[in-house]
């Protein structure tokens, strides 16, 4: 048993050593190829508003996520308010718990060249994004993704990776705002069933189809 544990530790060490010398693009492609589904937690912080200034305190939001490629995900905000963005592969449901309202959109139109397309979309990112190395910062290797679509609401998306796993995303939108997402407790390829992403319409909810 000890021998097998030592072999497993050695293998893990070699994999991490390999990632330590891999570029951000190599790390991300490896993550995409090996990760059909994942779940974890996130904290989202607005670091620059439309005026190019740091926003006032209290702009943090947090929650959980789970996804399965292609195009299935549940992105749940728990603080400072309850909101769920859920996609079943065909439609996107945006549920505001406080207002008991659900907005339904066609997933292809809603996903597009968005941050969600990077994490939850297909494996062929270079169809929608121009990818390039973003250098090292904050202990992470950064990958820059610029949407090819001119009508995208984002100018640039950066993904920070460590040991082959995304730990952060930096989002710059067309209004000059910058937000940072930090991921934690990420679990690759968890067990999910066929109904995991089926949206159940809340009782009495107002429904808007866009």
- What domains appear along the chain, each with residue ranges and CATH number? 23-209 (2.50.20.10)
Residue 2 has pLDDT above 60, yes or no: no
Q: What is the mean pLDDT of the chain?
A: 84
- Give the pLDDT confidence score for residue 164 in this predicted structure: 93
Quick one: pLDDT at residue 53? 65
Q: Is the separation of the CB atoms in 25 and 143 below 8 Å?
A: yes
Predicted TM-score of the model (pTM) = 0.80
Q: Which parts of the chain are beta strand (E)? A: 37-48, 60-68, 72-79, 83-88, 91-96, 101-106, 129-137, 140-147, 154-162, 165-173, 178-188, 206-209
- pLDDT for position 52: 60
- CB-based contact 173:153 (threshold 8 Å): yes
pLDDT at 135: 95
d(CA 106, CA 91): 5
What is the C-alpha separation between 210 and 207, in angstroms, rounded?
10
**Bigger pLDDT: 21 vs 88:** 88
Residue-wise pLDDT for 145-199, tens only, equals: 998 887 778 899 999 999 999 999 999 988 888 999 999 999 999 999 878 999 9
| DSSP bridge partners of 140 | 137
Cβ(163)–Cβ(19) under 8 Å? yes
Among 202, 13, 23, 24, smallest CA distance to 102 is for 202
pLDDT reading at 130 higher than 70: yes
Q: Is 115 within 8 Å of 65 (Cβ atoms)?
A: no
Share of the chain above pLDDT 90, in %: 58
Peptide bond connecting 204 to the previous residue in cis, omega within 30 degrees of 0: no
Tokens of 114: 């968005």
First-to-last C-alpha distance (Å) of the chain? 58
Name the least confident of 41-45, 84-88, 106-110, 166-170.
106-110
Lowest mean pLDDT among 9-18, 45-54, 121-130, 158-167: 9-18
pLDDT at 5: 42
Count the residues in the chain.
Answer: 210
Q: How far apart are CA 136 and CA 62, in angstroms?
A: 26
Contact indicator for 131, 143 with CB cutoff of 8 Å: yes
- How is residue 83 written in tokens? 């909101």
Segment 64-81 shows an average pLDDT of 91
* Cα gap 165→146, rounded to integer Å: 20
């Amino acid at each position: 048993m000890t021998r097998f544990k030592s072999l497993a530790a050695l293998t893990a060490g070699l994999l991490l050593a390999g990632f330590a010398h891999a570029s951000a693009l190599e790390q991300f492609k490896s993550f995409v190829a090996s990760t059909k589904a994942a779940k974890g937690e996130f904290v989202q912080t607005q670091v620059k508003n439309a005026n190019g200034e740091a926003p006032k305190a209290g702009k943090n939001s947090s929650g959980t996520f789970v996804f399965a490629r292609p195009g299935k995900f549940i992105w749940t905000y728990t603080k400072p308010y309850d909101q769920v963005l859920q996609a079943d592969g065909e439609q996107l449901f945006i549920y505001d718990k406080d207002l008991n309202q659900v907005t339904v959109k066609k997933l292809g139109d809603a996903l597009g060249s968005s941050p969600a397309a990077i994490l939850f979309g297909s494996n062929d990112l270079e169809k929608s994004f121009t990818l390039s190395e973003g250098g090292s910062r904050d202990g992470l290797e950064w990958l820059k993704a610029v949407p090819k679509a001119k009508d995208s609401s984002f100018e640039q998306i950066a993904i920070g990776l460590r040991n082959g796993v995304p730990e952060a995303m930096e989002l710059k939108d067309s209004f000059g705002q910058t937000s940072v997402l930090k991921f934690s407790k990420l679990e690759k390829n968890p067990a999910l069933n066929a109904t995991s992403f089926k949206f159940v319409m809340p009782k009495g909810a107002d429904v808007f189809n866009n």
